[in-house]
Amino acid sequence: MKTYDIDVSLPRRRYWDTDIESPHRCPECQTPLVQDFQMYLMVTKQGKEVEPYLAGNKGGWFCPNCPVVVLNYDEFVQGMVVVSGVTTKEFTVAGIVNSDAIPDDKKHLPFGHNDNPIPLVEFLNPTHHQQASSTKRPINRKQRRKLKRRLKHKKKKK
């Protein structure tokens, strides 16, 4: 039974379940979240190429109370494999596709067709979680040495 209709036309703040304490409660208001099937625009980097993919999945948990959606990270990794055929963690989720916004006479056209642009509802916050963690390289020895030297200098000044 569906007790709550999710308004996908509403731009939301996006959280990853891996970033919050309780994945089935809203990180902002603690309301129990509602799982729903939605279509997402995912973008992956394959080498230097950026490829967009549309993927429908049940990895989104929506807050009935505020514009928040919590995305299940594993579900999106799986979804990425299904649509792109590659296992990659280098992807971002650009937003939710509001399929209700497509007029009936355009529904037979493929998404992204000139006459049928993707009705993308982008997230309110940028989708940098995954990239941030993968670009966080440990500092190498040279840098560490430099840092130490700098610290010594500071101490000497005192």
Binding stretches for Zn ion (CB under 5 A): 26, 28-29, 31, 63, 65-66, 68
Cβ atoms of 53 and 44 within 8 Å: the answer is: yes
* Residue 143: CB minimum distance to Zn ion, A: 41
Between residues 26 and 121, which has the closer beta carbon with respect to Zn ion? 26
Q: Minimum distance from CB of 64 to Zn ion (Å)? A: 8
Minimum CB–partner distance for residue 47 and Zn ion (Å): 39
**Which CB, 65 or 134, lies closer to Zn ion?**
65
Instruction: Give the residue with the Cβ less far from Zn ion, 29 or 82.
Output: 29
Comparison of 62 and 91: residue with beta carbon closer to Zn ion: 62
Single-letter residue type at 30: Q
Q: How far is the CB of 97 from Zn ion (least distance, A)?
A: 22
Contact 33, 66 (CB under 8 A): no
Question: How far lies 66's CA from each of 9, 32, 60, 100, in Å?
Answer: 13, 11, 14, 20
Length reported for the chain = 158
What tokens appear for 83 in the block?
A: 């649509």
Closest approach, Cβ 25 to Zn ion, in A, equals 8
What span, in angstroms and rounded, lies between the C-alpha atoms of 31 and 72? 17
Q: Return the number of the residue (62 or 76) whose C-beta is nearest Zn ion.
A: 62
Residue 54, exposed/middle/buried by CB under 10 A (0-12, 13-18, 19+)? middle
With beta carbons less than 8 A apart as the criterion, state whether 38 and 8 touch: yes
